[in-house]
Amino acid sequence: MYEKIIIASDLSKATTHIINCIQDLKTVGTKEVILFHALGIKHLDTLQYDLIRYAEPVLFEQQQLLNRLNFSVKIAIGKNGVVWELNKIVEKENASLVVIGTHGKGMAFDSLIGGTAEKILHNAHLPLLIIRLRRLEGEELPVCEADCLSLSKKILYVTDFSDTSHRAFTHLEKMVEVGAHRITLLHVQDKTRVEKHLLDRLEEFNAVDGNRLEMLKHALISKGAREVNILLKYGIPVSEILKISQGDDYSFILMGSQGRGYVKEVFLGSVSDNVVRHATLPVLLIPALR
């Protein structure tokens, strides 16, 4: 499913914590890891050699950790900006998933790549796994602890019934086939849109969308899921998603990164981007077809 993945490294201890979580991806078929770092110095050729000498020992240490977890590992260092280099390595390696880390409002590797982590979100061509990092209190130096991905826990799947949400659902079906058995299907009726002109049709919308969720539930059960719960909520989508994600033993949030009725930038800014920024769980984003 995700046989070859790319981990974006910022050379920090935070990336090491992310690596320790990656072993959970073996359950979805991960065998090979591309350990990727971008220097971000397109026009400073003389500086790249100093930066590479600094980066290589850290990347080799991270490579050894991945090797101990029985992954095949390659190191890829690019000198240009992270988005350009990442897209190049994605195409070259035919990878199936990109993994990055976040500790809330910023990404774990923002300091080294000039705050371009959001550009990765907005330009992703592959499924993007964002692993949440928590700063632990009482430490003299900042220490990050990652929430790990696990198919043994519940998965929270968020849908707006768009084509992109359907793409995300196909990933969920494959996860069920390899061992995910507890899923919650969530759809939120956006009150900011409904209350303006469509409040009198809310009952109709609930009936239609409730039937859609039931169809998704039966599809998952036919694939082998044992426990599939349906949640149909009315409210602000981001708030409802975050509240529900904190209320049960969920492993991660699965959702599309472009929704029905939104241009890419607006949707990312209002829903999936804000979920990534504020969720306490990893978020797996499935991009729209481009």
pLDDT of 124-141, one tens digit each?
788 999 887 776 666 555
Residue 284 lies in a domain: no
Residue 210 lies in a domain: yes
Is residue 142 located within the same domain as residue 171? no
Is residue 159 located within the same domain as residue 133? no
Question: What residues of the chain score a pLDDT lower than 70?
Answer: 41-50, 103-119, 135-145, 258-269, 290
| Per-residue pLDDT at 112 | 35
Is residue 267 located within the same domain as residue 213? yes
| Per-residue pLDDT at 193 | 80
What residues make up the domain containing 40?
4-146
| Per-residue pLDDT at 110 | 43
Residue 211 lies in a domain: yes
| Per-residue pLDDT at 262 | 41
Is residue 161 located within the same domain as residue 131? no
What is this structure's pTM? 0.87
| Per-residue pLDDT at 5 | 96
Residue 282 lies in a domain: no
Is residue 11 located within the same domain as residue 142? yes
Q: What domain count does the chain have?
A: 2
For helices 163-177 and 202-223, the axis angle rounded to 10 degrees is: 30
Work out the number of other CB atoms within 10 angstroms of the CB of residue 196. 8
Is residue 230 located within the same domain as residue 161? yes
CATH number for the domain spanning 227: value is 3.40.50.620
- Which of 116, 146, 176 finishes a domain? 146
Is residue 132 located within the same domain as residue 159? no
| Per-residue pLDDT at 100 | 87
pLDDT of 207-241, one tens digit each?
999 999 999 999 999 999 999 999 999 999 999 99
Is residue 134 located within the same domain as residue 179? no
Residue 287 lies in a domain: no
Distances (CA, A) of 64 to 3, 22, 33, 42, 276: 19, 14, 12, 29, 29
Residue 83 lies in a domain: yes
| Residue 193 neighbours by CB under 8 Å, 6+ apart | none
